[in-house]
Amino acid sequence: MTHDELENGSVLNLDFTKLRKVANCDADVLPAIAQDAKTGEVLIVGYANQLALDTALECGMATFWSTSRNELWIKGKTSGDYLKIEEIRVNCEQNSILYKVTPAGKGACHTKNKDGVARSGCYYRRITGEGALEFTDPAQV
Amino acid sequence: MTHDELENGSVLNLDFTKLRKVANCDADVLPAIAQDAKTGEVLIVGYANQLALDTALECGMATFWSTSRNELWIKGKTSGDYLKIEEIRVNCEQNSILYKVTPAGKGACHTKNKDGVARSGCYYRRITGEGALEFTDPAQV
């Protein structure tokens, strides 16, 4: 499946091996969710190690550890489209974090709609009753 | 650190080895977030394999794969406090899912506040400027 089919298509093709790959990266990481503090939209799920969390606390921008590139990833730092941290939540068992953020730029997703505008978040498709994918909002297509 | 300190305390003690443990479970899994469809509250993050997703689609309740017990976990099925699925979203890269749910019972978290009431979700504490934890809502303490 091409990147375009994966990201814009209607065929459900989940990568269930994701967390095995994540666990094979160079760092110890836990899930880090970024949520728009105002709208409640879940924007993106990434992974954070201690360095990513420390960096987020220090610079006030949602920060992840890129498990594919094995490097620190201050989301949007270069482009200016960063996610300003309002607060960082921790779950009951202290094995995941939740960044409550205000997007400083446009979309938090790396994909774009047909007009070339970055999508606000990554969860722009739902699973249909037939097991296919469809866009939740025509503006996101 | 005791379970009580971990879940109700003010000391930040994140388990960054979480995803290594997850990856060592018997199933191929990806992150599965449950979010209250109405309030937007992020309730819980778990993990799902193909069976969990198929079960969720079939029975309409948020379903995870318990990576510690290595078994299917239809959240709240026994107690009746299940999370009714409104829709299932998929992220751009198709390596995580988002359950948009309506809680059928009380809290989605296994922890309880001091009055013995289950907390609505797992993210009831934030990290303070001093690197400690504090409750976001006095009613959750």
In a domain, A80, yes or no: yes
In a domain, A78, yes or no: yes
Question: What tokens were used for B47?
Answer: 């993990």
Distance CA B87, CA B99 (A): 6
Determine phi and psi for A140, rounding to 5 degrees. Answer: -90, -15
Query: What mean pLDDT is predicted for residues B106-114?
Result: 93
Domain that holds residue B26: 3-106
Query: What mean pLDDT is predicted for residues A24-37?
Result: 94
Q: Which residue of B has its CA nearest to A41?
A: B40
pLDDT at B26 over 90: no
pLDDT for the residue numbered B92: 98
User: Number of A:B CB contacts under 8 A?
Assistant: 168
Q: How confident is the model at residue B23 (pLDDT cuts 50, 70, 90)?
A: confident
Model pTM greater than 0.90? yes
Q: How confident is the model at residue A24 (pLDDT cuts 50, 70, 90)?
A: confident
Question: What tokens were used for A10?
Answer: 């209607």
Name the A residues in 55-114 with CB < 8 Å from any B CB: 57, 87-98, 109-111
The beta-strand segments (E) located in chain B are 30-36, 42-48, 63-66, 71-74, 83-90, 97-103, 125-127, 133-135
Q: What is the pLDDT of residues B72-106, one digit of tens each?
A: 999 998 888 999 999 999 999 999 999 999 999 98
DSSP code per residue over chain A: --HHHHHH-S-----TTHHHHHHTSSS--EEEEEEETTT--EEEEEEE-HHHHHHHHHH-B-EEEETTTTEEEETTTTTS--EEEEEEEE-TTSS-EEEEEEESSS-SSS-B-TTSPBPSSS--EEE-TTS-EEESSGGG-
Distance CA A32, CA A29 (A): 9
pLDDT for the residue numbered B9: 96
Query: What mean pLDDT is predicted for residues A114-132?
Result: 96
CB contact under 8 A, A14 and B44: no
In a domain, B136, yes or no: no
For B16, the closest of A18, A24, A30 (CB atoms) is: A30
Share of chain B above pLDDT 70, in %: 100
Q: Give the DSSP letter of residue B138.
A: G
Q: What is the pLDDT of residues A57-83, one digit of tens each?
A: 999 999 999 999 999 999 998 888 999
In a domain, B122, yes or no: no
pLDDT for the residue numbered B5: 96
In a domain, A58, yes or no: yes
Q: How confident is the model at residue B112 (pLDDT cuts 50, 70, 90)?
A: very high
CB contact under 8 A, B19 and A47: yes
In a domain, B138, yes or no: no
CB B100 within 8 A of CB B74: no
CATH code at B99? 3.10.20.810
Count of structural domains within chain A:
1
pLDDT for the residue numbered A106: 84
Q: Does A16 touch chain B (CB under 8 A)?
A: yes
Q: How confident is the model at residue A141 (pLDDT cuts 50, 70, 90)?
A: very high
Question: What tokens were used for A37?
Answer: 């503090």
Q: What is the dihedral of CA B92, A141, A41, B34, to 10 degrees?
A: -50
In a domain, B139, yes or no: no
In a domain, A97, yes or no: yes
